[in-house]
Amino acid sequence: MRYRKIAAISFFLLLSFPFICFAGAAGFTLDSGAFNSVPEPRLRYPINESAVLTRDEPLEFKWWNDVTGIQGFVLKIYKGYDMYGANLIYKKDLPADSSSLEGDQGLFEDGQVYTWSLVRVSFAGYKSDRSFNSFKVIKE
């Protein structure tokens, strides 16, 4: 008799296990930040390990502008890999319709590593996670 109860309970748990596991996925939360989140921007260039600068042409930073209803972007350039305030060499607030920025070649030294980051800002003032990439400048 005792083994039948254990077997019945075990059988019930075995059959209901998939439903118990997926119950959390079907639920919802009332997280107020969920509908205020802003997707991070997708970077286009430079996203390689190096950026080659020729003559006096500027280094053009590019990204996809694929989200409507935003206020704009914040682009920052840091010298080195670390994105700390002490390493910040350039910051620019950009309008919502922008998808690129020409960086003056005078900002960059040959052989140095730089990191650029981009944040999307909503009309409500919410900011996305930053997208970033590091690259080495090669001047020809």
Residue 30: predicted pLDDT: 42
Residue 124: predicted pLDDT: 86
Mean pLDDT by 10 residues, the chain (140 residues): 65 58 45 64 90 87 88 95 93 94 90 95 90 92
Pairing mode, strands 131-139 and 50-53: parallel
Beta carbons of 120 and 39 less than 8 angstroms apart:
yes
Residue 29: predicted pLDDT: 43
Examine residue 95 and say whether the peptide bond preceding it is cis (omega within 30 degrees of 0).
no
Global pTM reads 0.72
Residue 16: predicted pLDDT: 59
Residue 14: predicted pLDDT: 61
Domains in the chain, ordered, with CATH? 35-139 (2.60.40.10)
